[in-house]
């Protein structure tokens, strides 16, 4: 009798039989791999979806260890999975790598649930596994293309900007050499050369992180990172008559490139300091938030400084836009934005030049699910 007809009968036995065969039909026709294993990690069932994804037939693989499908470098995952399953926990949609019969690595998304006997004792696990290699490859190439485009654009702009002061330095050295008989003139030329080089060095410092920090991201409490960065500036702030207030409503961890994010916080704090030459207050906050349905953390750095005029506000994230020609190069916010966008986050500004309630608030939203979190999850999946 077809499975659906069986469902129409009333007897509990028939119902049980019908739901069992219905379930079997679902398992057999699933595009996803559905695999069960016992607590020793031995495969006990294998559907056609698993055969399609991994290339092993049911007869070949049943009785083998699940480690057959796990690449050598990720084998420690299995112990963690088994420990979680034994304590009755479920693991939802975690992305990792498995290996097929040909030895090729596949990107997969796996959900693992404990299998229990009638007394509720855990006797094994069922895994539903989807091959996401194509999607991952696409994501990787888009990310790579974005990185190359961003790096190329940044390198071109910086090269252009560094070239001008370097040309002046060459000129000034030439002038110093040709006026060697006049020490006062030489000192004047060298002083000018020095200030040009200070500018070049500032640009290098602001952008260095971008190239240097290809190191893996880490999971950390953002509030701690803000605290740590503010502590670096504290002596300077105290001397400048700037008071710090913090509102850290959460200690949630998030995966970030620590160096990049420290650079972002430093840039915001430095801007706030420059906006308050006669002192004021910096308020730093971190809280949980959602942006377009994405959960994450919202960090803000607010000052009681002069504010940004409506004419400038549109341009502040553009490279080399500055109103502080003597002290700034105008790349702080541009670089910060690149870093935030690299984390799939958003940076926003609110500012007022009102004579009474002037000040600027920079807010940064960082989603928990960002490319670095995914990279980290891949190397340390559970």
> What is the binding site for Mg ion (CB under 5 A)?
271, 332
SS3 13: helix
DSSP string, 86-130: HTT--EEEEEEEEE-TTS-EEEEEEEEEEEE-TTS-EEEEEEEEE
Mask: binding to ligand ATP, 68-107, rule CB under 6 A, as x and -? ----------------------------------------
Of 26-34, 45-53, 237-245, 323-331: span binding ligand ATP (CB under 6 A): 323-331
- The secondary structure of residue 216, as a DSSP letter, is P
Closer to Mg ion by Cβ: residue 64 or 157 = 157
Quick check: 308 binds ligand ATP (CB under 6 A)? yes
Q: Please, what is the end-to-end C-alpha distance for the chain in angstroms? A: 44
Q: Is 165 in the site for ligand ATP (CB under 6 A)?
A: no
For residue 304, state whether it binds ligand ATP (rule: CB under 6 A): no
SS3 329: coil
Binder of residue 334, out of ligand ATP, Mg ion, none (CB less than 5 to 8 A by kind): ligand ATP
CB atoms within 10 A of CB 379: 11
- Rounded to whole angstroms, how far apart are CA atoms 227 and 153? 32
Print the binding letters for residues 222-261 with ligand ATP: x by CB under 6 A, - otherwise: ----------------------------------------
Q: Is 331 in the site for ligand ATP (CB under 6 A)?
A: yes
Choice between 94 and 321, CB closer to Mg ion: 321
Q: Is 293 left (phi over 0), alpha (psi -120 to 50) or beta?
A: left
Helix or strand or coil: residue 277? coil
With beta carbons less than 8 A apart as the criterion, state whether 86 and 122 touch: yes
Position closest to ligand ATP via CB: 332
Q: Is 360 in the site for ligand ATP (CB under 6 A)?
A: yes
Nearest-approach distance from CB 257 to ligand ATP, in angstroms: 19
Our CB check for Mg ion shows the closer of 271 and 370 to be: 271
CB 318 within 8 A of CB 157: no
> Interface with ligand ATP by CB under 6 A: which residues?
206, 267, 271-272, 275, 303, 305-308, 312, 316, 321-324, 328-334, 360
């Amino acid at each position: 009798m077809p499975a659906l007809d069986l469902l129409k009968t009333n007897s509990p036995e028939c119902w049980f039989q019908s739901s069992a065969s219905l379930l079997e039909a679902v398992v057999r026709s699933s595009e996803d791999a559905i695999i069960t294993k016992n607590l020793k990690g031995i495969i006990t069932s294998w559907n056609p979806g698993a055969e399609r994804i991994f290339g092993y037939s049911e007869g070949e693989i049943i009785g083998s260890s699940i480690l057959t499908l796990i690449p050598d470098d990720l084998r420690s995952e299995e112990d963690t999975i088994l420990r979680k399953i034994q304590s009755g926990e479920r693991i939802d949609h975690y992305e990792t790598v498995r290996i097929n019969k040909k030895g090729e690595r596949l990107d997969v998304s796996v959900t693992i649930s404990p299998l229990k006997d009638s007394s509720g004792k855990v006797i094994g696990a069922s895994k539903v596994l989807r091959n996401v290699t194509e999607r991952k490859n696409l994501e990787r190439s888009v990310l790579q293309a974005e990185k190359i485009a961003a790096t190329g654009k940044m390198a071109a702009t910086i090269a252009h900007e560094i070239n001008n002061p370097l040309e002046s330095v060459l000129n000034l050295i030439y002038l110093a050499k040709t006026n060697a008989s006049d020490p006062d003139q030489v000192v004047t030329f060298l002083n000018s050369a020095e200030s040009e080089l200070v500018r070049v060095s500032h640009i290098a410092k602001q952008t260095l992180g971008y190239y240097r920090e290809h190191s893996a991201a880490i999971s950390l409490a953002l509030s701690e990172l803000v605290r740590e960065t503010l502590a670096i500036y504290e002596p300077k702030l105290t001397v400048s008559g700037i008071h710090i207030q913090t509102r850290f409503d959460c200690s949630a961890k998030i995966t970030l490139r620590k160096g990049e994010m420290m650079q972002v916080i430093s840039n915001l704090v430095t801007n706030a300091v420059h906006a308050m030459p006669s002192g004021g207050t910096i308020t730093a906050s971190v809280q949980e938030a959602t942006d377009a349905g994405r959960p994450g953390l919202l960090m803000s750095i607010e000052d009681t400084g002069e504010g940004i005029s409506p004419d400038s506000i549109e341009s502040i994230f553009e490279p080399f836009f500055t109103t502080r020609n003597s002290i700034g190069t105008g790349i702080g916010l541009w670089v910060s934005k690149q870093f935030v966008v690299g984390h799939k986050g958003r940076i926003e500004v609110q500012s007022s030049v009102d004579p009474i309630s002037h000040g600027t608030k920079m807010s940064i939203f960082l989603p928990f699910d960002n490319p670095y979190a995914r990279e980290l999850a891949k190397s340390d999946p559970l």
